[in-house]
Copies of this chain bind each other. A is one copy, B any other.
Amino acid sequence: MLNLPRFLPYRLTKLSGFISRDLGGIYSERFNLTITEWRIIALLGSEDGLTAQVIGTRASLDKVRISRAVDRLVKAGRVKKQTHKTDRRSSLLHLTKSGRAILEEIVPLAQDYEKRLLKEFSPEEIEILDGFLNRLDSKAESLQKDNHR
């Protein structure tokens, strides 16, 4: 019939579930952050002054989630909003000092987690995996478009 444990979509969902629960646990227990909040901080860390919309594109998050997460981050003093000069509908988002501090605390933990996941992979294997994921990702994205047309 269909062997569920060998079915790629099932396996990917399961794997990503493990990882999300795992990392999400670290973010929330130690830093009281959701994964979404963490992603926003991570993006602002590499490029300050992004709009909610750009964050949505970069992090594949929908605007409702972003709106709520930014709200919480602003309340927690991690992020501040600055009204866009030429388009007053949107805001440029910036990390506060405290936002940068938490980023610097989490980054090593996140990298360490990734390192542990990939511990038994050689650099060549990591490169191959990387390529596989890119191919799967762009294929999945295009199939999505196909279906909704």
Residues of A participating in the B interface, judged by any CB pair closer than 8 Å: 1-23, 25-26, 35, 39, 42-43, 45-46, 58-60, 103, 107, 110-111, 113-114, 116-121, 125, 128-130, 132-133, 135-137, 139-141, 143-144, 147-148
**B45 to A143, Cβ gap below 8 A?**
no
**A11 to B114, Cβ gap below 8 A?**
no
Bound-state CA distance A132–B114 (Å) is 14
**B4 to A136, Cβ gap below 8 A?**
no
Q: Is the interface of A mostly helix, strand, loop or mixed?
A: helix
**A25 to B147, Cβ gap below 8 A?**
yes
With a cutoff of 8 Å between Cβ atoms, the chain B residues found around residue A147 in the complex are 22, 25-26
